[in-house]
Structure 1
Amino acid sequence: MRTKNGAVLMTNTLANMGQGLALPITTLYVHQRLHKSLTTAGLVLMVWALAMMLGNYWGGRMFDEWRQQPTYYIGGSIAIFAGLLMSLWPEWPLYAGALALYGLGLGILISAINGYLAHLQKEDKEIFNDAYWMRNIGFALSTGLSGILYAVSVRWVLILTTLLVVVALVMVKITFKEVTISPVQPAKRPQYHLFSADRQTVFSILAVCWALFITWLGYEQWGSNMSIYMIANGIPVQHYSLLFTISTGEIVLLQPLVARTFRNTYHNEKMRLIMGTIFYMASYLPIIYGNTYSFFVIGITCQTFGEMILFSTAPVFLNRFATDENRATLQSLNSMATSLASAVGPVFGGWLISLIDYQLTFVVIFALHVLVIPLLLALRAHRQVT
């Protein structure tokens, strides 16, 4: 990976690493230490994801329509305050409320950083690929540290979660510059208020967001219900955890190659969105027809290729529809789609499984992906206004 804008990319990585620390231990902590039901633990994560989605929306709008630097500091300060609350008093129900507040603040901060990346992308075409790659390395490190620190004390997990945001804000202060907004002539300005834009623009943006939502809805099954299904088929929990190690290794090794396979043209980006969705869709075929460990490895590998292609392309594609006055707002839609999927994914999957069974649930999710493909095929080129 190139080192251009390295400090900005590191700031983005540190801000995102907080999730990798706090979220993996939340279900364990709420259920085992705070003695609440698994349903309650799931609701805590749902509220966190919804708060994150709200923060994504506010962060994008504040960055575009208000002031940039205060948006970083407001989001970061909320996250730091919430992290301190969790660290000092990790008790019920304060922990649940503080975690939601942390999600809100982090959502604001991350959307503002994504808005800044969107402005830099005009000159640094690979910045979203680099951000995706570095973010995954950060997640791998933070999720690994999460388990180690949790074995000592949950407070250490939460303290490090807070410190990461502190360091990110310091780096924002040192490395982030105020973006000069190039005004757009009223006749050319796409109004976001999204639905006052032309219909083709609205369709394209919503189609991409819907693809992100459906694919992440499916991905959430791997992080929740899939573990129970694998254990029911006699596969040890250690082998389940190994799937995510395999996935992270594939991303770290292969993402730089994938990023350089395609030129940054509208047609290539559209094809990448379709290819990514097809890989996601294909990941369910092995586990529909087989239940041995090798089928799950094939499935997670397809899932990983889908993620590498789709989620590194979506922010670049959405940025084609943006002006300097709404880049952060459009990028926030990307984050909101995945946050909403994180909120409803485990519950949706659990409801389907209880209604039918595991394999039919995967068939339904496969079918939802199939329905996304025609929407992406219908995307039409949009003349970018810069």
Structure 2
Amino acid sequence: MKKTNMSITWLLVASFINNFAAGFIWPVTTVYLHNNLQQSLITVGWVILANSIGQAYGSILSGRLFDRFAPYRLIQIVVALMIATQISFILFHGWPLYALNLTVCGFLSGWILAILNAYGTRVVNVDGRFVFNMLYFTSNFGMVFATALVGVIFPLGIVWLFILSVILYVLLLLVVKVHFNLTFVKKETDQATTVAPLSEWNRRIIYVTIGGLVVLWIAYAQWLGNLSVYMTDTLHLPLWQYSMLWTINGALIAIIQIVINTLNLSTSRRAMWIQIFGGLLMFGLAFLILPFAKTFTGFALAMVVTTFGEATAFPMIPALVNELTPSYLKGRYQGLAAAAPSIGRAFGPVLGGFVIEHQGYQTLFYGGSGLVLITFILVLATVVSGYRYVTEYNQPVKSKK
């Protein structure tokens, strides 16, 4: 018998499995393309750009289709296609087919992420902010597990990573088939407004905050690429110290999210704004620490500050989007929110590399802080000016633990 409400437990299980599987692919991309397939770093950058653009397009398309077609069929189709892509990785992981597979994989992963977020809007017995906090927690938890295993498995051969990924996506398909078959019924309040466009201030705040998320990911993308080069080539720090930063990142995200959800902070609107604006400030502050970081301790401090910003701001933006959209538009705007990280990852390394090449790392750090500060002011001004005029579509409920 079909259900009308999504189970938060199985949504989080699906999110964990999806990111556990994805975590076997992206951490080794740069190393495998450069060291094993002998491609230049410029070529690697273009491949990562194609992967990120594929993710963004997949998220946007998935969100729009979610509102128009049967979500249950859409998610089954995309997971099945992802299984086929992982099998293709096993069979064809040379150049240039690896790059082609990676682009397709990016498109499908963006699709899955957006549709999982859209399903998150159908969890009605738990506050939406709690749902998106937990989605972010489980996605990072799965990624941490995967990256910890990658270092052990990759020396045995990259094929083993793809085999494990196939197994996990098959498991995800089983979870989807059993627990994601919902009947989507619009609320009466939404049925009366299906022909009316989203109000001007709802749209304005949504687009400005999603734009802010893009900027945060442009900043965060420097940690994923350019900072590793700066630490190892410029400062001659060992690679294990850069890897240890991500161990700190993963552990701290888990701690922060556990505290937020244990104290039930996510159901407070004031806490939501503190998380969004506090997160923006943290990202800006971290970039002001980096010019003075010359040892592992300095970079670890900057990573701790960045992680506080990441763990607080990132999950709250899709939660805010959920509150400002009616049911018939949730897929579209969750797709845009899910595309924001991909856009930031796509253009962040390119912009950072351009600044580094022409002005150096110090300009990158100070410029990044300034860009985040401008974004903070823009988001704050927009929210203060217009939030009183928005229409809210989701009333918070007490989280059930």
C-alpha displacement of 1:258? 2.8
C-alpha displacement of 1:23? 0.6
8 Å Cα contact 1:75-1:104 kept in structure 2: no
Matched position secondary structure for 1:288: helix
Question: Aligned-pair RMSD on alpha carbons?
Answer: 1.9
8 Å Cα contact 1:64-1:325 kept in structure 2: yes
C-alpha displacement of 1:230? 1.5
Letter in 2 for 1:369: V
Q: How does 1:32-181 map to 2 (within 5 A)?
A: 32-120=35-123, 123-125=126-128, 126-181=130-185
Distance 2:41 2:162 in 1: 21
8 Å Cα contact 1:121-1:127 kept in structure 2: no
Task: Answer with 262-271 or 100-109: which moved more.
Answer: 262-271
8 Å Cα contact 1:272-1:309 kept in structure 2: yes
1:182 alignment partner in structure 2 = 186
Distance 2:12 2:184 in 1: 20
1:384 alignment partner in structure 2 = 392
8 Å Cα contact 2:245-2:303 kept in structure 1: yes
Distance 2:365 2:124 in 1: 37
Q: In the TM superposition, what whole-angstrom CA distance separates every residue of 1:244-277 from its partner, at most 9, and x where no partner exists?
A: 1111111112221134363524443223211110
Task: Answer with 93-102 or 288-297: which moved more.
Answer: 288-297
Task: Answer with 23-32 or 353-362: which moved more.
Answer: 23-32
Letter in 1 for 2:370: A
Q: How does 1:190-339 map to 2 (within 5 A)?
A: 197-231=198-232, 232-259=234-261, 260=263, 262=265, 264-339=267-342
8 Å Cα contact 1:78-1:102 kept in structure 2: no
Q: TM (normalized to structure 1)?
A: 0.93
Q: In the TM superposition, what whole-angstrom CA distance separates every residue of 1:318-349 from its partner, at most 9, and x where no partner exists?
A: 10112121222211111111111111111111
Q: In the TM superposition, what whole-angstrom CA distance separates every residue of 1:272-327 from its partner, at most 9, and x where no partner exists?
A: 21111001111111112342322211110010000111012112111011212122
Distance 2:9 2:267 in 1: 21
8 Å Cα contact 2:198-2:325 kept in structure 1: no
8 Å Cα contact 1:25-1:147 kept in structure 2: no
Letter in 1 for 2:179: T
- Give 5+ residue unaligned stretches, structure 2: 1-6, 395-401
C-alpha displacement of 1:190? 7.9
Alpha-carbon spacing, 1:132–1:180, altered in 2? closer, same or farther (3 Å): same
Alpha-carbon spacing, 1:123–1:254, altered in 2? closer, same or farther (3 Å): closer
Distance 1:14 1:155 in 2: 19
Q: TM (normalized to structure 2)?
A: 0.89
Distance 1:122 1:58 in 2: 28
Q: In the TM superposition, what whole-angstrom CA distance separates every residue of 1:166-185 from its partner, at most 9, and x where no partner exists?
A: 21111011112314231555
Q: In the TM superposition, what whole-angstrom CA distance separates every residue of 1:97-136 from its partner, at most 9, and x where no partner exists?
A: 1111112122222211111111115634422111211111
8 Å Cα contact 1:188-1:385 kept in structure 2: no
Alpha-carbon spacing, 1:375–1:37, altered in 2? closer, same or farther (3 Å): same
Matched position secondary structure for 1:325: helix
8 Å Cα contact 2:217-2:344 kept in structure 1: yes
8 Å Cα contact 1:82-1:102 kept in structure 2: yes
C-alpha displacement of 1:17? 2.4
8 Å Cα contact 2:56-2:339 kept in structure 1: yes
Number of equivalenced pairs: 379
8 Å Cα contact 1:270-1:376 kept in structure 2: no
Task: Answer with 285-294 or 36-45: which moved more.
Answer: 285-294
Task: Answer with 170-179 or 256-265: which moved more.
Answer: 256-265
Matched position secondary structure for 1:165: helix
8 Å Cα contact 1:16-1:110 kept in structure 2: no
Matched position secondary structure for 2:267: coil
Task: Answer with 125-134 or 45-54: which moved more.
Answer: 125-134
Percent identity over paired residues: 26
Alignment partner of 2:9 out of 6, 9, 16: 6
8 Å Cα contact 1:55-1:108 kept in structure 2: yes
Matched position secondary structure for 1:283: helix
Q: In the TM superposition, what whole-angstrom CA distance separates every residue of 1:222-252 from its partner, at most 9, and x where no partner exists?
A: 1111112122223221111111111111111
Distance 1:145 1:190 in 2: 50
Q: In the TM superposition, what whole-angstrom CA distance separates every residue of 1:20-58 from its partner, at most 9, and x where no partner exists?
A: 110111111111221111111121111111111111111
Distance 2:48 2:279 in 1: 27
Structure of higher RCO (CA pairs closer than 8 Å, 6+ residues apart): 2
8 Å Cα contact 1:82-1:101 kept in structure 2: yes
8 Å Cα contact 2:8-2:120 kept in structure 1: no
Letter in 2 for 1:188: T
C-alpha displacement of 1:368? 0.6
